[in-house]
Amino acid sequence: MIKKLLDRIFKSKHAPSIAHASSTTHPPHKAQQRSKLSAKSAHKHVDGPHHGALSIAHKTHKIDRDLLSNAALKTTEGLHKAGFEAYIVGGAVRDLLLNRRPKDFDVATDATPEQVNRIFRRSRLIGKRFRLVHVLFGDETIEVSTFRGSHLEAAGDAKVSDSGRIIRDNVFGSIVDDALRRDFTANALYYNPASQEILDFHNGYADIKAGILRIIGKPETRYAEDPVRMLRAVRLSAKLGLNIEASSQAPIAKMANLLEDVPPSRLFDEMLKLFLSGHAMESVAALRAQHLHHGLLPMLDVVLEQPMGERFVMLALQNTDERILAGKSANPSFLFASLLWHEMLVAWENHKKDGQHAIPALHLATSEVIASQAEKLAIHNRYTATMREIWGLQPRFEQRAGKRPFALLTHPRYRAGYDFLLLRCASGELPMELGEWWTTFANADGEARTAMLQADSTPKKRRKRPRKKTTAITPE
């Protein structure tokens, strides 16, 4: 009943500006690719339910089913059984076509969030901006979204700012609308695991095969609607080795300033994705080349504009890339602690010059840097607590006598502190010998550890002898 009503309300009407743009931005390419594909093996639904989408069969796309997650399969199956359409969408299909194992799977459906929620016992409704459902299978979560409509539709709950930025777009729509509001052609593919068919509304398949990242619609309009798409273009092209198509690339430099209006928390999320993509070094170089730094991305300013700490920050990014590409986890707190370390060192030095002892000076500097930077960069409290710990442990690595090194090994943040120490050594801030000492010490057995300890050079605190009580002599 509700489904029928929604179908009637949202029977596809394209958003005028985008639909117009998509047919004018690259007509020769589109016509060319489409005819090439249809001639080969793609099947075009002209009057079918999918309004001219290309249908790409398994024999063409050859997606390796072993790369699919069971949870995603169960989700689409569950929705199909209940009579709904359901597809794996977005980055996962793109990654599968590039023969990469997707890091997560999203599903799009014509069922409403409430309907999805009712179908899966272990699921929950989330999201304020747009309601989604998280379906849980063991430790895997599948994000299920209802096809979204254009923010230009009169119905629904949508809002656009003066610059054209979409502030709110809580509108359901058809699969055609849903494809149209996605960012890149490569991200607008709908894979049905049951039929193994991919629906392709914007020639994303051909673009992926040609190594191209192309924005859907008129680039200027799409970047104005959501300036974060410029960052996504740079991040995804660096991560996937795709070239940003010329007309998608051209407006970026002149529209970069629109990023100033994006809420800091969204910029933070996107920068975090970029730093943890496994391709942070290339992404940072690409952002610089696209003039997307300088005052627009506070976090990037921190990376690029510190003459003293540049080597340290670059080593930290390289180290993070290596960890991620090796399938290890990378802790965002560690990354932020690295990005701000040299700012910390300056503040620490200043407090010592003012006459503070090393440890209280370190704590003062930590609070100062976190207070000024965490807000600017929108670093959440849950990260700052660990940053403090990583920094706070650093002076303890310089104490190699007595019981202290043993105590440090048992500290819950020892590993992060030690990795941080190694970066400091590799950047030339501390002698390599110190890092090597800790590596050996941590791996040695009890006796060998004791033999490694250095003589205690810290002056022993002199025990004060208790003063003899003096009894006041009171004159008689």
- Which region among 57-65, 225-233, 315-323, 418-426 touches ligand ATP (by CB under 6 A)? 225-233
Asked if residues 69 and 140 have their Cβ atoms less than 8 Å apart, the reply is: yes
Yes or no: say if 316 and 387 are a contact pair by the CB < 8 Å rule: no
Could you tell me the two tokens for 153?
């539709």
Which 154-213 residues touch ligand ATP, going by CB under 6 A?
A: 182-183, 187
Which stretch in 81-89, 91-99, 298-306, 383-391 sits in contact with Mg ion by CB under 5 A? 91-99
CB of 293 to Mg ion, least distance (A): 25
Check the CA dihedral 408-409-412-417 and report its sign: positive
Residue closer to ligand ATP (CB basis): 226 or 245: 226
- Return the number of the residue (199 or 337) whose C-beta is nearest ligand ATP: 199
- Residue with smaller CB distance to ligand ATP, 228 or 365: 228
Question: In 223-330, which ranges are E strands?
Answer: 243-244
Residue with smaller CB distance to Mg ion, 153 or 226: 226
Dist CA 227 CA 229 (whole Å) = 5
Site string for Mg ion, 400-439 (x = CB under 5 A): ----------------------------------------
Nearer to ligand ATP (CB atom), residue 50 or residue 388 = 50
> 221: which residues sit within 8 A by CB, 6+ positions away?
17, 18, 21, 164
Q: Is 91 in the site for Mg ion (CB under 5 A)?
A: yes
Among 110, 177, 207, 226, binds ligand ATP (CB under 6 A): 226
Among 50, 85, 90, 258, binds ligand ATP (CB under 6 A): 90
Taking Cα atoms as reference points, which of 429, 438, 432 lies closest to residue 399?
Answer: 438
Question: Is residue 177 among the annotated active site residues?
Answer: no
Binding track over 100-139 against ligand ATP, x by CB under 6 A = ------x---------------------------------
What are phi and psi for residue 88, nearest 5 degrees?
A: -80, 135
| Span of 2-10, 86-94, 324-332, 454-462 interacting with Mg ion by CB under 5 A | 86-94
CB of 36 to ligand ATP, least distance (A): 24
Catalytic residue selected from 106, 169, 200, 321: 106
d(CA 67, CA 95): 10
Nearer to Mg ion, 78 or 91 (CB): 91
Q: Quick check: is 64 catalytic? A: no
Of 233-292, binders to ligand ATP (CB under 6 A) are 273
Query: Can residue 29 be called a binding residue for ligand ATP (CB under 6 A)?
Result: no
In angstroms, what is the minimal distance from the CB of 229 to ligand ATP?
A: 5
Q: Where are the extended beta strands (E) located within 214-263? A: 243-244
- Of 130, 72, 77, nearest to 104 (Cα)? 72
Q: d(Cα 62, Cα 135) in Å, to the nearest integer?
A: 27
Q: Cβ 260 to ligand ATP, closest distance in Å? A: 17
Interface characters, 408-437, with ligand ATP (x: CB under 6 A): ------------------------------
* 324 CB-contact burial (10 Å; exposed 0-12 / middle 13-18 / buried 19+): middle
- From the candidates 169, 178, 183, 200, which is the catalytic residue? 183
CB 332 within 8 A of CB 387: no
* Alpha-carbon dihedral 253, 257, 259, 262, rounded to 10 degrees: -160
Decide which of ligand ATP, Mg ion, none touches 217; Cβ closer than 5 to 8 Å per partner kind. Answer: none
β-strand pairing of 212-213 with 166-170: unpaired
Closest distance of CB 104 from Mg ion, Å: 5
In the block, residue with structure tokens 């950047």: 427
**Cβ–Cβ < 8 Å for 174, 147:** yes
Q: How far is the CB of 75 from Mg ion (least distance, A)?
A: 15
Contacts of 151 (CB under 8 A, 6+ apart): 15, 158, 159, 160, 166, 168, 169, 171, 181, 225
Q: Which is nearer to ligand ATP, 186 or 390 (CB)?
A: 186
- Among ligand ATP, Mg ion, none, partner that 183 touches (CB below 5 to 8 angstroms by kind): ligand ATP
50 binds, among ligand ATP, Mg ion, none (CB under 5 to 8 A by kind): none
Q: Which is nearer to ligand ATP, 267 or 344 (CB)?
A: 267
Q: Does 229 bind ligand ATP (CB under 6 A)?
A: yes
The helix/strand/coil state of 131 is coil
User: How far is the C-alpha of 57 from the C-alpha of 238, rounded, in Å?
Assistant: 29
Stretch that binds ligand ATP, among 29-37, 78-86, 224-232, 444-452 (CB under 6 A): 224-232
Q: Compute the chain's Rg from CA coordinates.
A: 28
Tokens of 220: 């200027």
Burial class (CB in 10 A: 0-12, 13-18, 19+), 314: middle
For Mg ion, the closer CB: 21 or 236: 236
Residue numbers at the binding site for ligand ATP (CB under 6 A): 90-91, 106, 182-183, 187, 226, 228-229, 232, 273
Q: Which are the catalytic amino acids?
A: 104, 106, 183
Residue numbers at the binding site for Mg ion (CB under 5 A): 91
